[in-house]
Amino acid sequence: MRKIVSRPEPSKLPELPLPIHIRSSGYNEAEFNWEENDGVKPFVQIFWCIQGAGEFFLPEKKIILRPGETFFRLPGELHHHRSCDPAAQWRYYWFTFDGPAAADFMLSYGYRQEKMYAGECPVELFLELEVLVRKSTPYAQRHALSVAAEILARMGGSDDEPPQEQLAHRFLAMARENMRNPSITIDALAGKLGVHRTTLNKHFAGVMKISPGEYLDMIRLEHALRLLRETDLSCKEIGLHSGLTNQSYFCKQIRQATGMTPQAYRRTAGDRLTCGPSNGADLPE
């Protein structure tokens, strides 16, 4: 899915004398190795990653953006980036703004042109921006500027969140995005976060009071239990969709959590069919 919402004449600045004008806003879902190389652009573009990973190409380095992280491009820069996580789609929200003061406006926030961890994406603000860009009335243009400023403010993250909490929150988001992939391990997630596993264990346990491995097992189990309650997928299919591909381990986890076998839990949870071949029920999002 790719969504782009632009003002009526994107290349023409509106007449309203504002310091910047919102040009476009949107959302993108990109499969592994999808690439965009559109040349030099005359606007600022903001990216806020919500899933997977994207690689940005800069003159002397590359930057990889992961869930909860943001990045911006300035006018006159080459727009070249690609999806680089084979385990998940790269999903992100974005918006652009232009005008003679666009670059100065962006730089006035004091952000370095590096990826920044900002936390959960304010999706509601990006959606509001889309509505305002479509309207394009003087009020909508002024309002859009204030919404964009709110997004830019949130890009800097919270003033009162210590680095340990930032790392823990980044792990929470990344673990939930990757939990269905059975090949994802704590070592792999630590690598994606750019820290050693020991550092991740220490900081995450200090904030959450459980280890990263226990948390990953917990959310995989919660997902498996929900599929047992709400679908007729077989136990094997549920294990595959929950990152629990070892059937013995899958059944052991269910029994430890519920005191029952998967089949018994399914019967008591919703009088559903016993674990057997799937009847084609859709896997919940």
Give CATH 2.60.120.280 domain extents, the chain. 2-155
Is there a contact between 8 and 21 (Cβ–Cβ < 8 Å)?
A: no
Whether residue 51 is predicted with pLDDT greater than 50 in this model: the reply is: yes
Domain spanning 2-155, CATH architecture: Sandwich (2.60)
Q: Return d(Cα 12, Cα 174) in angstroms, integer.
A: 39
| Comma-separated ranges of CATH 1.10.10.60 domains in the chain | 163-270
Using the predicted structure, report yes or no on whether residue 184 has a pLDDT greater than 80: yes
Which residue from 98, 104, 91, 113 is spatially nearest to 285, judged by alpha carbons? Answer: 91
What separation in angstroms does the CA of 213 have from each of 32, 43, 139, 218? 26, 43, 50, 9
Q: How confident is the model at residue 72 (pLDDT cuts 50, 70, 90)?
A: very high
The span from the CA of 243 to the CA of 217, in Å, is 9
Which has the closest alpha carbon to 25: 10, 11, 40?
Answer: 10
Assess whether pLDDT exceeds 50 at residue 40: yes
Specify the pLDDT at position 273.
41
d(CA 71, CA 117): 9
**218-277 per-position pLDDT tens digit:** 999 999 998 998 888 999 999 988 999 898 999 999 999 999 999 999 988 765 444 444
| 158 closest CA partner among 127, 218, 116 | 116
Confidence of residue 151 (pLDDT cuts 50, 70, 90): very high
Mean pLDDT of the region 100-113: 94
* pLDDT score at 275: 40
pLDDT score at 198: 92
The residue written with tokens 């600045």 in the block is 13
Assess whether pLDDT exceeds 70 at residue 12: yes
0.75 surpassed by pTM = no
pLDDT digits (tens, 9 = 90+) for 152-174: 999 987 666 677 888 888 888 88
Rounded average pLDDT over 32-52: 93
Task: Please tell me the class of the 163-270 domain.
Answer: mainly alpha
From CA 160, how far away is CA 188, in angstroms rounded? 28
Mean pLDDT of 174-190: 87
Q: What is the pLDDT of residue 182?
A: 87
Give the pLDDT score at 170: 82
Whether residue 130 is predicted with pLDDT greater than 90 in this model: the reply is: yes
